[in-house]
Amino acid sequence: MELCHKSFMPLLHVLLFLCCISLFISGAQALNNNTISAIYVFGDSTVDPGNNNYINTAFRSDFSPYGRDFVNQMPTGRFTNGRLTTDFLASYMGVKDYIPPYLDPTLSMEELITGVSFASAGSGFDPLTPTLFNVIDIPKQVEYFKEYKKRLQLAIGKEKMEKHIKKAVFVISAGTNDFVVNYFIIPIRRKTYTVSAYQQFVFQKAKELIQDLWEEGARTFAVTGLPPMGCLPAMITLNSEDAILQRGCIDKYSTVAREYNQMLQNELNSMHFGSANNLGAKIYYIDIYGPLIDMIQGPAKLGFDEVNNGCCGTGYVEAGFLCNPKSYVCPDASKYVFWDSIHPTEKTYNNIFKASLNIIVAIIMD
């Protein structure tokens, strides 16, 4: 009898452990379904699922080979071969499988209510940046959100709309175009700003966006930092003495990104909205620099073969219309960190999402 009792105890522990795991998973699923009402996205090409398809700009990707690994091999306007990090985020949170572009005229109210992206490829926090590509600037993205709120209010009423907005997650991803294009490639801002002054200027514009969205009812923010800019294939090509034979990250540009990210993280942690407890606003910093540099510096452990060239074309300078149906495309994009000379592959976006899971879980649970 004593022997039977002893042999039974480990089994009981296992059953209790499995029961706890089951309850945790069920609880997480309930949170996924009930806590997050929608996801709204603002920024640039890293989170634009196709808004540029509906405006008069040359900076688009609604053609092959973009979307080669998306559903039905569909070029949606995403600047990659498949899904974006925000798509993985929405799916994980149980909101929807993909974040659609707000400007898509075919979207149903059911699609609209669970979240959309207002982002525009080529945009940035600096008001000058979107004018270079004739794309949607950040203030206009906020105006579209205000328009969206009116549409939502007509559908579900003001009180439900306001509660819905407060339970949503607002994702902000921009800044790379400001530094890469406006400051380094086309030295427009370098004439009037030092690097540190421009970092402060860009952050101030990011802060204004958060403030504007807070005034519109946003309470939960996920704000991304900058990537290692010196590792973007286009930056390597344009700033190397021998861009073909000696390809490697240029640290002076990545250093600017690291400094900005540290400042951004510190400032976001200290942001308040008119009171000591910032009236319920929660701001989370999402690190994309660390995951990207890990993929670039240790590619083999993550299954990558190529880290300095994009999959499309030569991989040196192609992006947008330079990566087109006539371009050579690598046979397996999952072996590449970058899809074109600027934008990551779907696998890279997925790795960034996975690296951010601790923050994402905190957002869901908080």
State pLDDT tens for residues 93-118: 999 999 999 999 999 999 999 999 99
Whether 254 is catalytic is no
Q: Is-contact 81 68, C-beta < 8 A?
A: yes
> In angstroms, what CA-CA distances link 39 with 32, 118, 153, 279?
12, 11, 17, 20
Point out the catalytic residue in the list 44, 87, 173, 343. Answer: 343
State pLDDT tens for residues 18-46: 444 343 333 333 334 458 999 999 999 99
Reduced to 3 states (helix: H, G, I; strand: E, B; else coil), residue 329 is: strand
Whether 45 is catalytic is yes
> Whole-angstrom Cα distance, residue 350 to residue 292?
11
In DSSP terms, 336 is beta-bridged to 306
Point out the catalytic residue in the list 45, 61, 123, 173. Answer: 45
pLDDT at 278: 52
Mean pLDDT across 170-177:
98
Mean pLDDT across 164-174:
97
Point out the catalytic residue in the list 69, 117, 340, 356. Answer: 340
Whether 5 is catalytic is no
Q: What is the pTM of this model?
A: 0.89
Q: What is the DSSP string of 158-214?
A: HHHHHHHHHTSEEEEE--HHIIIIIIIIS-TGGGT--HHHHHHHHHHHHHHHHHHHH
Between 195-215 and 251-270, two packed helices, what is the crossing angle to 10 degrees? 40
Give the residue from 83, 51, 86 showing the smallest Cα distance to 70.
83
Mean pLDDT across 157-162:
97
Tokens representing residue 335 in the block: 């072996």
Domain 36-365, what architecture? 3-Layer(aba) Sandwich (3.40)
- Which residue shows structure tokens 């371009």? 327
Mean pLDDT across 344-352:
98
Q: Give, as one character, the DSSP assignment of residue 53.
A: G
